[in-house]
């Protein structure tokens, strides 16, 4: 029995390592890109990445404490005479380290993406908005926001900001799961989605989105959208003022930076739906309904063009498919379950 436990622990550690190493590589590449860009252009100060890391450490500690107390309660309910000793024997120190590293890598990637996003207008001033708006009109025969019924605008305005909390909740639950190939694939796919789409895509087609079209292009093509938001989407008004003020004053604040193509809201929500469908299949319908809310909200509220959100969804699916190719295969072990 002891030998089996030791063997299980070593397998668990090995498979967690399979996603940690390539994920760290993607994050390091983002920082190298950010350092290069900041050295070339006069860029805003680096975002408060250390604060992100401290916050991530606090969250990881709270979640870990909850899991510890939950397991301790289970052992007590089972009548375990020495629950602390039993819990200590069950605890895999290396797996705990991987769990904590996961939180820190997420925080570091947020810092890198924010920094690169803030520097985007310095390197590639917004130029693609007329192109993307024209693409929408070719595909849909009208501006995308006009297709969404006005009755949905206010509910979407209320729900849309929760894309972040839902995504982070899925990430936290996933980091706490036992090792599996599915878990490793899902976590690496997340880092690839944010790292590849969030950098290459945004720099290739630098755009601000319909809600900022008037400011960056100087035309009133989306005046109707702005008027509709003013009456039915007050949260959009608050956030656009916040983001535009940050853009004008070149400040480094949480959630700063303007970029429309591709929609990282839709990209990360696509990842969320794929992860939930794979790891918690009973919740897949709810996950894809949530995806539909964010997809429609991104268009109805004017944060993104239809083509932005479509590209983001396809791109996130591509990252999901490619992720197994980048896993640290030397660490894979056939004894690890494919599913939980």
HEC string of 242-291? HHHHHHHHCCCCCCCCCCCCCCHHHHHHHHHHHHHHHHCHHHHHHHHHHH
Q: Count other Cβ atoms within 10 Å, centred on residue 329.
A: 9
Q: Which of 41-50, 175-184, 297-306, 321-330 is the least confident region?
A: 41-50
Q: 241: which 2 tokens?
A: 């003022």
The four Cα atoms 239, 244, 250, 252 give a dihedral, to 10 degrees, of: 10
Q: What is the pTM of this model?
A: 0.88
242-286 confidence digits (pLDDT tens): 888 888 876 666 666 788 999 999 999 999 999 999 999 999 999
List the chain domain ranges.
2-330
Q: At what angle do helices 181-192 and 264-279 cross, to 10 degrees?
A: 180
| Rounded Cα–Cα distance for residues 255 and 242 (Å) | 9
Mean pLDDT of 54-63: 93
Average pLDDT, the chain: 87
């Amino acid at each position: 029995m002891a030998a089996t436990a030791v063997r299980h622990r070593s397998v668990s550690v090995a498979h967690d390592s399979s996603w940690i190493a390539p994920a760290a590589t993607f994050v390091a590449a983002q920082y190298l890109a950010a350092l290069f860009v900041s050295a070339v252009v006069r860029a805003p100060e680096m975002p408060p990445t250390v604060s992100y890391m401290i916050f991530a450490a606090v969250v990881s500690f709270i979640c870990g404490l909850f899991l510890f107390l939950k397991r301790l309660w289970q052992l007590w309910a089972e009548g375990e005479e020495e629950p602390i000793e039993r819990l200590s024997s069950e605890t895999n120190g290396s797996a705990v380290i991987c769990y904590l590293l996961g939180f820190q890598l997420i925080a570091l990637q947020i810092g890198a993406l924010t920094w690169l996003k803030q520097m985007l207008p310095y390197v590639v001033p917004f130029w693609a908005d007329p192109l993307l708006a024209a693409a929408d009109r070719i595909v849909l025969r009208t501006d995308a926001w006009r297709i969404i019924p006005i009755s949905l605008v206010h509910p979407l305005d209320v729900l849309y900001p929760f894309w972040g909390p839902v995504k982070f909740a899925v990430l936290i639950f996933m980091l706490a799961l036992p090792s599996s190939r599915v878990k490793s694939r899902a976590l690496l796919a997340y880092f690839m989605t944010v790292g590849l789409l969030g950098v290459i895509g945004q720099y290739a087609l630098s755009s601000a989105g319909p809600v900022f079209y008037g400011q960056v292009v100087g035309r009133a093509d989306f005046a109707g959208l702005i008027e509709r938001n003013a009456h039915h989407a007050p949260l959009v008004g608050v956030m656009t003022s916040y983001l535009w003020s940050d853009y004008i004053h070149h400040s480094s604040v949480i959630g700063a930076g303007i970029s429309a193509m591709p929609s990282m809201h839709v990209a990360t929500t696509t990842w969320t739906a794929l992860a939930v469908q794979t790891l918690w299949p009973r919740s897949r319908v709810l996950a894809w309904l949530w995806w539909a809310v964010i997809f429609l909200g991104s268009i109805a509220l004017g944060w993104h063009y239809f083509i932005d959100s479509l590209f983001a969804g396809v791109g996130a699916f591509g990252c999901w498919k490619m992720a197994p190719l980048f896993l640290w295969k030397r660490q894979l072990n056939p004894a690890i379950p494919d599913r939980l």
